[in-house]
């Protein structure tokens, strides 16, 4: 049961906006305190269930996969994948973090000097205005760069290296909600509620 209770559950505020991802263990605690309801997608709409209604629903609609079931002494309960908070209606006040992955995401894995799209392991970050010129680690001064272009530019300004940016770097306007990869099959049931966003270790200035 330990592995099942560690499964991720998407949390929606009462306006049906995605605000967090928590472990199933905590989701059940919120359901038990009546602070949330289970959201379940049917063929043409979404239904909400209290914990007791969800237990009854589980009796008549058992899941196919073992990791979709929480087993108690005398019954099996379907693992909720999405829950709806009954009181909270706000969104997290969090700016898009300046991270390596977020820069790659903003720049579409494209070197901002030569325009080539490459795997991320072949990319790094470049300060457009080098640090020794006073360049800071900000969204407006960091770009995705291939290793070849980064080496060519070195600690020079772009024009000093006879290079030009593909586009001017700006701070992205994503609404950061949660960290997830939509390609993960287990998150299929979340797609209707999500904004694509990533967070990782924030880059130090």
Is the same domain home to 52 and 125? no
Is the same domain home to 156 and 125? yes
Tokens of 154: 């070195």
The SS3 of residue 92 is coil
- Name the more confident of 4 and 147: 147
- Name the more confident of 187 and 25: 25
pLDDT tens for each residue of 3-15 = 788 888 888 888 8
pTM flag (> 0.75): no
Distance of alpha carbon 93 from alpha carbon 91, whole angstroms: 6
Domain-located, residue 6: yes
Is the same domain home to 185 and 84? yes
Domain-located, residue 203: no
Distance of alpha carbon 77 from alpha carbon 47, whole angstroms: 17
Contact 177, 19 (CB under 8 A): yes
pLDDT tens for each residue of 93-144 = 556 778 898 899 899 999 999 999 999 999 999 999 999 999 999 999 999 9
> Hunting for tokens 């457009």 — which residue is that?
128
Domain that holds residue 106: 100-161
Instruction: Mention every residue, 6+ apart, whose C-beta is less than 8 A from residue 33.
Output: none
The pLDDT assigned to 94 comes to: 56
Task: Give the domain CATH number at 111.
Answer: 1.10.30.50
């Amino acid at each position: 049961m330990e592995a099942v209770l560690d499964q991720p559950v998407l949390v929606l505020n009462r306006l049906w906006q995605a605000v967090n991802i928590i472990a199933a263990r905590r989701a059940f605690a919120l359901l038990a305190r009546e602070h949330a309801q289970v959201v379940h997608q049917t063929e043409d709409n979404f239904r909400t269930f209290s914990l007791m209604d969800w237990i009854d629903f589980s009796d008549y609609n058992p899941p196919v996969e073992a990791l979709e079931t929480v087993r108690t002494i005398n019954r099996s309960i379907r693992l909720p994948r999405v829950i709806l908070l009954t009181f909270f209606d706000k969104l997290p006040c969090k700016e898009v973090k300046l991270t390596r992955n977020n820069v790659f995401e903003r720049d579409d894995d494209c070197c901002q000097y030569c325009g080539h799209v490459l795997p991320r392991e072949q990319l790094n970050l470049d300060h457009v205005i080098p640090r020794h010129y006073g360049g800071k680690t900000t969204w407006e001064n960091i770009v995705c760069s291939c290793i070849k272009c980064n080496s060519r530019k070195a600690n020079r300004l772009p024009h000093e290296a006879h290079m030009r940016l593909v586009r001017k770097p700006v701070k992205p306007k994503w609404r950061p909600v949660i960290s997830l990869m939509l390609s993960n099959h287990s998150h299929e049931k979340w797609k209707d509620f999500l904004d694509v966003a990533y967070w990782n270790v924030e880059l130090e200035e």
